[in-house]
Amino acid sequence: MSRVQTLTVAVAGVALLAPSASSAAESIHLRPSRTEARRVTAGPAAGSGLPTALAHVAVPHRGRVEPVARDGAREVLTRGADPGGSVTPGPATPGPDGSGSAIPDTAPPDAAASDATTTTGSATPAPTESGPSPSGSGPSAPATPAPVTAADLLARVSGCTPVSKGRYRKDRGRAATVPVCGTREAVYWKADMDIDCDGRPGRHCNAATDPHFSSSTAFAQSDGRALSSEKLPYVVVPAPSSLWDYREHGVRGGSVAAVVYRDRVSYAVVGDTGPADIIGEASHAAARSLGIDPDPRSGGTPSGVTYIVFKDSRVTPLEDREAAETQGERLAREFVDSSG
């Protein structure tokens, strides 16, 4: 059989296998090679009934012409084994209806690419509420509480439940107007501030600068020496009397105190005692930390100072200023947050 006849038979086989629905097909022409065209033009061979034109074939609309085998069956494109990913023809597989329609051995290229996209690459786990984030960062540290303000403390001591049996004077010759008040956590009073420069002498506190200077204090530091008024913020409590005995209210040398003046808060210790009927006195360093003039002769302030001493507290060693500040901040926060 000549090549032209073979081509015609193949085309006829495709026509038999093609769907009949014209709405889902598109018309195309198969163009023979130049040699075959010349043979067709020259006319059929002797004794042959070949047509003078190629058959018009309808194939499914897929944008390409499907190859046809020499025996008239459609060839199925299957994925070849060559590295370039080319496809090689394979035998047709009969469909479920026995019509010989081809069923691909592998998924179409688009589906294969989709599968590859789905199954390749590393997956990033979604963060859970209980576990750490994918970045490996752990739980955040708890926020540090804001420092206690002067307003916080003043609001807490706005009232007064007296614990003293009477009132104290601010200075000699003045009326007694100042009670000592108390809560479960602290005792407090509101008075003036006189400068106590007693203790170890220094450049600002000595017999020349203070006519009432004393080189001793009621409470000593850990090495047995007197406290330094210039270096250590401390407050003065009245000496025990029938009016009030600080020892009966959880106060002693080294007890932690918060001193408030205007919008400032300073933490100090109980460091000395004063006259039994006068209240309102603190060290040179305490006055300086509050912005009050610390001069023992002319300094101090006539009013507006609040002294809060926390019960059953103590700084050891007594001269440890940093420890007084740390404990003071903690005790002040507890005092402000409490309701007693």
Please indicate, yes or no, if residue 170 is contained in any of the structural domains: yes
- The pairing of strands 186-196 and 181-182 is antiparallel
- The pairing of strands 256-261 and 181-182 is unpaired
Q: Which residue has the tokens 């329609």?
A: 101
C-alpha 58/C-alpha 17 separation (Å) is 10
Please indicate, yes or no, if residue 25 is contained in any of the structural domains: yes
Q: Which residue has the tokens 């007296």?
A: 162
C-alpha 133/C-alpha 127 separation (Å) is 5
The reply to whether 44 and 190 lie within a common domain is: no
CB–CB of 67/30 below 8 Å? no
- The pairing of strands 264-274 and 234-238 is parallel
Please indicate, yes or no, if residue 97 is contained in any of the structural domains: yes
Chunked mean pLDDT (size 10), the chain, 340 residues: 48 46 42 47 46 44 45 45 45 46 44 42 45 53 84 97 98 97 98 98 97 96 98 98 98 98 98 98 98 97 98 97 97 91
Please indicate, yes or no, if residue 142 is contained in any of the structural domains: no
The reply to whether 68 and 212 lie within a common domain is: no
The reply to whether 99 and 166 lie within a common domain is: no
Please indicate, yes or no, if residue 124 is contained in any of the structural domains: no
Please indicate, yes or no, if residue 15 is contained in any of the structural domains: yes
The reply to whether 97 and 194 lie within a common domain is: no
**For the residues of 131-163, what is the DSSP string, one character each?**
SPPTT---PPPPPPPPPPPHHHHHHHTSS--B-
Please indicate, yes or no, if residue 126 is contained in any of the structural domains: no
The reply to whether 72 and 178 lie within a common domain is: no
Report pLDDT for 173. Answer: 94
Say whether 220 sits in a helix, a strand or coil: strand
Which residues does 331 contact at the CB level (< 8 Å), separation at least 6?
Answer: 185, 256, 258, 310, 313
Domain termination residue (choose one: 46, 81, 108):
108
The reply to whether 268 and 164 lie within a common domain is: yes
The reply to whether 248 and 320 lie within a common domain is: yes
Report pLDDT for 339. Answer: 74
CB–CB of 340/185 below 8 Å? yes
Please indicate, yes or no, if residue 117 is contained in any of the structural domains: no
State the total domains in the chain: 2
Report pLDDT for 66. Answer: 45
Q: Which residue has the tokens 């014209």?
A: 22
C-alpha 178/C-alpha 169 separation (Å) is 6
**In 53-211, which ranges are continuous DSSP H helix?**
109-119, 150-156
- Give the count of beta carbons closer than 10 Å to the beta carbon of residue 74: 19
The reply to whether 187 and 49 lie within a common domain is: no
Report pLDDT for 143. Answer: 74
Residue type, 60: P
**Structural domain for 280, as ranges:** 150-337
Domain termination residue (choose one: 108, 131, 164):
108
Q: Which residues pair with 234 in a beta bridge?
A: 269
Q: Which two tokens stand for residue 153?
A: 């403390």
The reply to whether 61 and 191 lie within a common domain is: no
The reply to whether 328 and 214 lie within a common domain is: yes
